[in-house]
Amino acid sequence: MDTYVVKGQQVLRYGYTTGSCAAASAKAATRMLLMNEEVSEVKLITPKGITLSLEVCDIERSQDAVSCAVVKDAGDDPDVTHGMKIYASVRRCKGAGVHIDGGIGIGRVTMRGLACPVGSAAINPVPYKMIGEEVKKVCDEVSYSGGIEVIIYAPEGEEVAKKTFNPRLGIVGGISILGTSGIVEPMSEAALIDTIKAELDVQYAAGKKCILICPGNYGADFARDKFGLDLNKAVKYSNYLGEALDYIAYLGFEKVLVVGHSGKLVKVAAGVMNTHSRYADGRLEVLAAHGALCGCKANIIKRIMESVTTEEALRHLKEAGSFESTMQSVMNKIKMHIDFRVQHKVNVQIIMFSNEMGVISKTDKALEILKDYQMEE
């Protein structure tokens, strides 16, 4: 693709989804099957309205079927499916209409809560519709009223899927065919947030009323090593705490335990719900302000403000004898902002830790909710 977007100070190229690849492969294979012509390139109008001209490769014909592939191009997005070949095999079948399924390398859904029903191929609704519409257009063009069977497959899919969230979502055996717009926006926050929501959907559909969330690997590792929690039941929210909390409240979870590193959670005391450094920081300012409220002298406040990391700032608070009171003050503010975000619909408890000191602060009932969560395991 030659479409670009500016992100920060970079110019990044758009790509196209596995859904677009599957629809284009199916369209090309159907044309070759019904029109008996060679197709080396196929045009596809994506749901976003962008027209793609995609090269067709690996064409194979038999007496009653045609298969071909389109190579996935994720543009400048760090997508593990970039460069994969997404195949479609098309054949005539009895009856009428277009019948779509997944073959080798396409995952199967085993858990409730996802967009695809349990037992079906992991071909999401928009790509599924795209495939069906593109095949039907070709059928209409040649006045073919019989049935068409379409099998989407990806020989590398099972191996590549190990690098995705699919195993956590209960999608086994391969990748998902995805894409609501047909286009991959590089470094898309929406895609990350959709993944977080999908994980929450699965947990809620499984009957969970209590959910453990953490920013990333630090929080996950701490929850595992300190409390022995099964991280397959936890959801990593990256920097998108606000969006995760919104969706937790929307779904109707009763309790949520947030386990996070001080470097992330301290920001929440300032009302920052997207904790990525490019949006906001304020860690040292938060610690300095609460330290001052708790009686720290000016020289300690100065040292805190000159610290490079939160760990260093915490050491200064410890040395000054104001650590416990300051961190309790910070935690109270974090709790206030999170409770406001969920509109008090969810019982939210929080555990904050540092690499050096372990648990540095927690809300009053954090350990109770921790026991509830462990019992659910």
Which is higher by pLDDT, 260 or 102?
102
Q: Using 50, 70 and 90 to split pLDDT, how confident is the model at 191? A: confident
The mean per-residue pLDDT over the stretch 91-100 comes to 95
- Report residue 174 CA to chain centroid gap: 17
Domain 4-184 class, CATH top level = alpha beta
Per-residue confidence (pLDDT) for residue 8, from 0 to 100: 54
Mind listing the pLDDT tens digit for each residue in 5-20? 555 556 678 899 999 9
Per-residue confidence (pLDDT) for residue 176, from 0 to 100: 96
- List phi, psi (to 5°) of 120: -90, 165
Q: Using 50, 70 and 90 to split pLDDT, how confident is the model at 368? A: confident
Helices (H), the chain: 18-35, 125-141, 157-161, 189-205, 217-227, 241-251, 262-268, 283-293, 298-305, 310-320, 323-341, 366-376
Mind listing the pLDDT tens digit for each residue in 197-208? 999 999 999 998
Mind listing the pLDDT tens digit for each residue in 206-230? 998 999 998 876 677 777 788 777 6
- Specify the domain boundaries for CATH 3.30.2110.10 within the chain: 4-184
Share of the chain above pLDDT 70, in %: 93
How far apart CA 91 and CA 58 sit, in angstroms, is 16
Its sign, for the CA torsion 223, 227, 228, 229, is: negative
Per-residue confidence (pLDDT) for residue 222, from 0 to 100: 76
Place of tokens 């920097």: 239
Statement: residue 63 has pLDDT above 90:
no
Give the Cβ contact number of residue 202 at 10 Å: 21
Per-residue confidence (pLDDT) for residue 79, from 0 to 100: 86
Which is higher by pLDDT, 309 or 132?
132
Q: How far apart are the first and last CA of the chain?
A: 46
Mind listing the pLDDT tens digit for each residue in 315-357? 999 999 999 999 999 999 999 999 999 999 999 999 999 888 8
The mean per-residue pLDDT over the stretch 28-55 comes to 95
The mean per-residue pLDDT over the stretch 299-322 comes to 94
